[in-house]
Amino acid sequence: MAHISMTVNGKLRKGDVEPRLLLVHFLREQLLLTGAHVGCDTSQCGACTVFVDGRSAKSCTIFAVQADGSEITTIEGLAKDGQLHPVQEGFWAEHGLQCGYCTPGMIMSAVNLLNDAPQPTEQQIREGISGNFCRCTGYQHIVNAIQHAAAARK
């Protein structure tokens, strides 16, 4: 067992983990933060995307021990003071989800994109979310949601 400590959504969290435990499983099973989903077990779908030290990362590709000392933000940590993040608002306003399984990871990737490119083109949006798969939509509503969030942040 390894003892780890990290800041998750602004709170110091500690735990004892097997060295092979993935970050996504630590978040879901020990911290009960179930927004990051396990969708493929191969790092292809992006449903497990979180921020690690301010950058998006697929939490199924990181051992929890590798995140020791890091700052983690999950979908549960995006809303502030009861107000949805502009990307969350965009997904709601533009119907950017259907089943919702990919949505947390998609939103986290979109936030990362808007942090890097506050007014992205449609092509930049499509490239920015290319590491996230949605099996329900044709992506247009997702693109619209991200454009909505970019416009709201002006």
pLDDT at 42: 83
Domains and CATH numbers, the chain: 2-75 (3.10.20.30), 86-152 (1.10.150.120)
Q: What is the pLDDT along the chain (154 residues), one digit of tens a residue?
A: 999 999 999 999 999 999 999 999 999 999 999 999 998 878 899 999 999 999 999 999 999 999 999 999 999 999 999 999 999 999 999 999 989 999 999 999 999 999 999 999 999 999 999 999 998 888 999 999 999 999 998 7
Contacts for 100 with CB less than 8 Å, ≥ 6 apart: none
Mapped onto helix, strand or coil, the DSSP state of residue 10 is: coil
Note the pTM of the prediction, 2 decimals.
0.95
Cβ–Cβ contacts within 10 Å for residue 39, how many? 20
* Residue whose pair of structure tokens reads 């290319």 in the numeric block: 130
pLDDT at 40: 87
